[in-house]
Amino acid sequence: DVKVTQSSRYLVKRTGEKVFLECVQDMDHENMFWYRQDPGLGLRLIYFSYDVKMKEKGDIPEGYSVSREKKERFSLILESASTNQTSMYLCASSWGPYNEQFFGPGTRLTVL
């Protein structure tokens, strides 16, 4: 079974803190994605990566950066957390760009 894990299920941080969300997949997938999910807005793509050290902006990259140093790991970084970044963050991976995405359990981030 494909397994996508995320470092935390729940996280509480203060405004201005640097926040790291980590995602690891164990199936050698090329593509990895970070979404945020907010009620009534569905899933919105923040960043994605189709190879190690490669990254592309999604629809809402402002305030975020990413890192992919190894194929299995894709990190989302909030350089200076703000209250409007309180959300559910979902990581996903896929074999190829046309295949279904497999999701991790999500991290519910609260920024106070």
Partner 1 sequence: AQKITQTQPGMFVQEKEAVTLDCTYDTSDPSYGLFWYKQPSSGEMIFLIYQGSYDQQNATEGRYSLNFQKARKSANLVISASQLGDSAMYFCAMRPNTGNQFYFGTGTSLTVIP
Query: Interface with partner 1 by CB under 8 A: which residues?
Result: 9, 31, 33, 35, 40-45, 48, 50, 56, 58-59, 88, 90, 92, 97-98, 100-106, 108
What is the nearest approach in angstroms of partner 1 to the Cβ of residue 89? Answer: 11
What is the nearest approach in angstroms of partner 1 to the Cβ of residue 39? Answer: 9
What is the nearest approach in angstroms of partner 1 to the Cβ of residue 108? Answer: 8
What is the nearest approach in angstroms of partner 1 to the Cβ of residue 111? Answer: 18
By C-beta, is 13 or 44 nearer to partner 1?
Answer: 44
By C-beta, is 9 or 14 nearer to partner 1?
Answer: 9
Query: CA Rg, the chain, in Å?
Result: 13
> At 104, is the secondary structure helix, strand, or coil?
coil
Residue 52, both tokens: 């190690």
Query: Torsions phi, psi of 95, nearest 5?
Result: -60, -55
